[in-house]
């Protein structure tokens, strides 16, 4: 069938979109320490995939063989697609056996500590949510607690939610009473704890906690990997680019951002974050591989499935979302597009009964939970 001039133009754009999708595929396999820029391309994967699917649908409706170009490229990236998109459209919760264990992972953003007008209210909403979910074990990232006072969160959580055991790994202490870090709370006995050493221990850390569940011991990893640390000006610049791309008019007036300066600042932060996460992921992967017990890995990786960090940590593990979820499963609730950066992974021997992303925007991350049988 002879194509119109417009269709020929659309096909040229289609070829560029297919090329864009194709160049995102190496991102999970290239170490950012060697080629950090490849990692940034991984962020574009969901958008490039969506655009190509639109082209496939367009050419399908036109009954044109041009659909093969995007279709072939999508199929070539099946490995990445199968790690990014869960296909369990009709998955339904099964009846939980008596030995099922519910585990949550939640980046609580310091319980909204710095939003001074609403911090208590936000903290209480998070705890009400956890109380409603009734987890047996919960991993917190960006956890804060003080010694005494309104934000003595450790005692408050144990008393309110009924957790008998906890492990708080402090990464920063100020004024001898204010503590930041990551923590695990458990209704089952904790028999051993340890910290994995990262190069940036004041901000990011991972731990493992051996927990005795009935007659078995599991090793629970809780990790918070390097964030991008985009500042207020960085976020304003990214939002302005998003508004321009969508045709939305900004409500804010003021000085136009310096595009070169802003882009350079953001690229530098992206580069540093990808490189640091690669080494942190390697530390976690080695510890997971050496575990004498079945493992569960919880955490905020600050990286998508199209990344080296996820690929390194998740190797030989089950991804609970891919087993029981559907779609791309965004867990970031902040102002940027929602990426899946919060995970629960398990050893292959662990049976995954359920998985849920709880879309409550009390933090800039959604909590995730799953029901497991060991």
Q: What is the pLDDT along the chain (374 residues), one digit of tens a residue?
A: 567 888 889 999 999 999 999 999 999 999 999 999 999 999 999 999 999 999 999 999 999 999 999 999 999 999 999 999 999 987 666 677 878 999 999 999 998 877 755 667 888 999 999 999 999 999 999 999 999 888 899 999 999 999 999 999 999 999 999 999 999 999 999 999 999 988 766 779 999 999 999 899 999 999 999 998 776 666 666 666 555 555 666 555 556 656 667 778 888 889 999 999 999 999 999 999 999 999 999 999 999 999 999 999 999 999 999 999 999 999 998 766 789 999 999 999 999 999 999 999 899 999 999 999 99
H or E segment at 224?
A: strand 216-224
Query: Environment class of residue 5 by beta-carbon count within 10 Å: exposed (0-12), middle (13-18) or buried (19+)?
Result: exposed
What pLDDT score does 246 carry?
Answer: 55
Q: What does pTM read for this prediction?
A: 0.90
Write the secondary structure of 121-179 as one string of H (helix), E (strand) and C (coil): HHHHHHHHHHHHHCCCEEEEEEEEEECCCCCCHHHHHHHHHCCCEEEEEEEEEECCCEE
> What confidence score (pLDDT) does residue 81 get?
97
Instruction: Enter the DSSP assignment of 66.
Output: T
Cα(90)–Cα(344) distance, rounded to whole angstroms? 21
pLDDT in the model for residue 69? 93
CA distances from 306 to 236, 291, 317, 347 (A): 25, 25, 16, 21
- Give the contacts of 204 (CB within 8 A, at least 6 positions apart): 171, 198, 224, 225, 226, 227, 276, 280
Q: What is the 3-state secondary structure (H, E, C) of 189-206?
A: CEEEEEEECCCCCCCCEE
**Residue-range domains of the chain with CATH:** 5-84 (no CATH), 101-228+260-373 (3.60.10.10)
Q: Distance (Å, rounded) from C-alpha 291 to C-alpha 219?
A: 7
C-alpha pair distances (Å), 209 with each of 185, 189, 215, 258, 298: 10, 10, 16, 47, 11
Per-residue model confidence (pLDDT) at position 328: 95
Rounded CA-CA distance 19/15 in Å is 6
In contact, 106 and 125? CB cutoff 8 Å: no
Residue 278: count other Cβ atoms within 10 Å of its Cβ. Answer: 23
CA atoms of 130 and 104, how far apart (whole Å)? 9
**DSSP code per residue over 259-308:** HHHHHHHHHHHHHHHHHHHHHHHHHHHHHHHT-SS-EEEEEE-SS-SSSH
Q: Residue 105: its pLDDT value, please?
A: 98
């Amino acid at each position: 069938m002879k194509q119109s001039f417009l269709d020929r133009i659309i096909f040229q754009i289609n070829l560029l979109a297919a090329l864009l999708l194709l160049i995102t595929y190496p991102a999970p396999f290239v170490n950012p320490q060697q080629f950090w820029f490849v990692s940034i391309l991984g962020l574009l994967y969901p958008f490039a995939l969506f655009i190509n699917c639109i082209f496939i649908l367009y050419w399908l409706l036109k009954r044109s063989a041009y659909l093969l170009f995007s279709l072939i490229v999508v199929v070539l990236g099946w490995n990445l697609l199968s790690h990014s998109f869960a296909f369990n459209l009709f998955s339904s919760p099964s009846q939980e056996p008596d030995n099922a264990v519910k585990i949550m992972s939640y980046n609580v953003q310091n319980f909204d500590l710095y939003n001074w007008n609403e911090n208590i209210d936000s903290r209480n909403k998070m705890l009400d949510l956890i109380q409603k979910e009734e987890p047996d074990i919960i991993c917190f990232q960006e956890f804060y607690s003080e010694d005494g006072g309104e934000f003595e969160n450790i005692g408050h959580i144990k008393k309110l939610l009924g957790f008998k055991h906890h492990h708080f790994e402090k990464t920063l202490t100020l004024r001898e009473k204010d503590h930041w870090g990551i923590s695990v709370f458990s209704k089952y006995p904790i028999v051993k704890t340890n910290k994995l050493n990262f190069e940036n221990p004041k901000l990011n850390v991972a731990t493992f906690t051996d927990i005795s569940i009935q007659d078995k011991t599991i090793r629970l990893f809780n990790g918070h990997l390097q964030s991008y640390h985009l500042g207020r000006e960085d976020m304003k610049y990214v939002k302005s680019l998003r508004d321009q791309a969508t045709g939305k008019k900004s409500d804010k007036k003021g000085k136009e951002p310096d595009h070169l300066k802003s882009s350079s600042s953001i690229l530098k932060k992206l580069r540093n974050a990808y490189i640091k996460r690669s080494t942190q992921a390697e530390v976690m992967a080695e510890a997971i591989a050496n575990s004498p017990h079945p493992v569960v890995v919880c955490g905020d990786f600050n990286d998508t499935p199209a990344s080296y960090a996820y690929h390194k940590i998740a190797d030989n593990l089950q991804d609970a979302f891919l087993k029981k979820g559907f779609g791309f499963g965004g867990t970031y609730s902040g102002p940027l597009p929602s990426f899946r950066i919060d995970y629960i992974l398990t050893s292959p021997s662990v049976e995954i009964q359920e998985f849920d992303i709880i879309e409550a925007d009390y933090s800039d991350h959604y909590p995730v939970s799953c029901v497991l049988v060991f």
